[in-house]
Chains A and B, each alone.
Chain A
C-alpha cells in the first residue's frame, strides 16, 4: 500500500515535470534557434542546430547598440530604485503608524495610482513632458518610472514598517530625537530586506517595460534594452537570425538575476499580492 502510494507519487511528479518542461519549450526554442542561420532554419525548423554558431550574436551585438542600451537600462533602474525607495519609505512611515482621515485619504490616493492604466495617463504625460522639455531625456523617463512604481512601494513599505516594533521609535522619542532622525536612524536601517525585494521589482519593471520608452524617447543613444530589441527586430521584418539572438540577449540578464533571486522574487510577488 505504502509502496504503491510512493510509486504513484513518483509517476505524478514525473508527469508534472514533463508538463512544466512542455511549458518551457518556447524558451528552449528561442535559445536553440538563436544559433541557427536563416538557411538552417528553413531546412530544419525545429531540430537542434548543427553547430554552435555565434555569427548571429556577433551581428546582433554590433547592430543593436547592446552595451549602450544595457548601461542605459541599468542607470535608469538604479535611479528609479533610489528615488522610489526613498520617497516610498518616507511616505510609508506616517501611513504605517497613524490612522486618521488624512492617512486614509492618502492610502486611497495611492490605490488610485495603483489601478490607473498607463494608457489613461500617457497622453497627458506626453503633452506635459513636451511642454516642459522632459521628452527624450533620462530624467523624464526616470520620473515616469518612479511614479509608476511608487504606489506599490508605499504599500509594500507600509506593511513592512508595521512589522517593526514601535518600542524602538518610542525609545528614540524619549531621547528627544526629531521624527526625521527617528526615520533615518531607526527605521531606515531596518528596511534593507524590503528595499532589496523592491529593487528586484523595479528592475523587472524598468528592464521589461517598453511603453514609456517607446513613447517618450526618440534619441537612439538613450534607448533602453527593450526598445533596442524592438527597433532591431522590427526593422528586419522578423528575420529569425536577428530575432532570436536579440531575444536571448534581451532576456538573459534578467533570467540570470531571476535564477539567483527566484525565491525572493516569487515570495515578493505573492506577499505583494496577498497583503
Chain B
C-alpha cells in the first residue's frame, strides 16, 4: 500500500510519457518496421527483408553520403571548438569587452538556418556575390572562385557557414567553463610568473575538460544530423559533394516517396548518432578523469 502511494505521484509523468511515446518511441519502432518493407506512402507495404539495408551498404552513393556526413562533422567540430576556445581565452582576459563580444558572437545563432543558408549562398555566388566582390575590391581578383559550384570547395563553404552560425555557442560554453575555474589557481600561477601561454596550456585547458566534452558532444550531434544548410545552399550538389545522409532521407521521402528505404536510412542514422555520441562521451569523460 505504501509503495503504491509512493509511485502514485508518477502519474504526473503520464502526459509526458504519452507525448514521448507518440513522437519518439512509436515512430522509432514504426520506422524499424517500415525499413524492412517497400512502403511508398500509400497502399499496402510488402516485406522485402534486408533489401533496403543491402542497398545502402552496397551502393557507392550512400557510402559517399556517409563520408560526406562524417567529413563535414569532423571539420565543423574541430574548427568550431578551436575558434570558440580562442575567443573564450581572449575574452576571459578582457572583462571590459567580454559581455559585448559574447552577445555579438551569439547573434548568428539567433538566425534561422533558412536565412543563414540564403544569405551565405548569395555571399558565395560567383556573380556580384559579396565574397568575390570583396576580393575584387581589395585587388585579389585572382582568388575569385565559384565557391559553391566547385565540388572541391562546396563542402568547406557550407561548413564555414555552419561554423559561423554556432561559434557563439561554443564560446559561451567555454566562457562558462572559465567562470568555474577557481580564481586562487589563476592567482597562484600568476605569482609563479607563468606566461599567458603557459597558463592557457597547462592550467586552463586541463581545467576546461568538461567544457570540451559538452562542446564536442553537442556540436557533433548537431552537425551529424545537419540538413538545412546543404539543403538550402546546394541541394546536395555539385556532384554530390554536399549530399549528407539526412539530405538523402528527405530526398527519398518527399522526392521519390520511398518511405521504406527512407526508414532504413533513418534507422542507420539513429544508430550512427547514438553510437558516435556514446563512444565520444565515454572517451571524453575518461579524459576528464585523467586530468
A residues sitting closer than 8 Å to B (CB atoms) are: 9, 12-13, 16-17, 19-21, 23-24, 26-27, 29-30, 33, 41-42, 45-46, 87-88, 90-91, 93-95, 97-98, 100, 102-103, 106, 109-110, 112-113, 115-128, 143-144, 146-148, 150-151, 154, 179-180, 183, 204, 207-211, 215, 226, 229-230, 233, 238, 240, 243-244, 247, 250-251, 254-255, 258, 262-263, 265-266, 269-271, 273-274
Q: Which residues from A are CB-within-8-Å of B101?
A: 16-17, 20
B residues touching A (Cβ–Cβ < 8 Å)?
A: 6-10, 12-13, 15-17, 19-20, 22-28, 30-31, 34, 41, 87, 90-91, 93-94, 96-97, 99, 101-108, 110-115, 118-123, 125, 128-130, 133-134, 137, 164, 167, 169, 172-173, 175-176, 210, 214, 218, 221, 224-225, 227-228, 232, 246, 249-250, 253-254, 259, 262-263, 266-267, 269-270, 273-274, 277
Q: Which residues of chain B come closer than 8 Å to A243, judged between CB atoms?
A: 118-119, 122
Is the CB–CB distance between A115 and B221 below 8 Å? yes
B142 CB to nearest A CB, Å: 18
Query: Do residues B133 and A46 form an inter-chain contact, with CB atoms below 8 A?
Result: yes
User: Is there contact, CB below 8 Å, between B107 and A27?
Assistant: yes
- CB of A124 within 8 A of CB of B34, answer yes
In the complex, A211→B246 CA distance in Å? 11
* Interchain CB contact under 8 A, A147 and B24: yes
A152 to chain B, nearest CB (A): 12
CB distance from B170 to the nearest CB of A (A): 10
- If A120-B31, A121-B27 touch, whether A147 touches B20 (CB-CB below 8 Å) is yes
Question: In the complex, which residues of chain B have a beta carbon less than 8 angstroms from the beta carbon of A20?
Answer: 87, 101, 104-105
CB proximity of B133 to chain A, nearest CB, Å:
4
Shortest distance from the beta carbon of A205 to any chain B beta carbon, whole Å = 10
Write 26 A-B pairs (CB below 8 A) sorted by A numbering: A16-B101, A24-B107, A26-B120, A87-B16, A97-B9, A100-B6, A110-B20, A120-B31, A121-B23, A121-B28, A123-B31, A123-B262, A124-B34, A127-B34, A146-B19, A147-B22, A179-B12, A229-B114, A243-B122, A247-B115, A247-B119, A250-B112, A251-B112, A266-B103, A270-B175, A274-B214
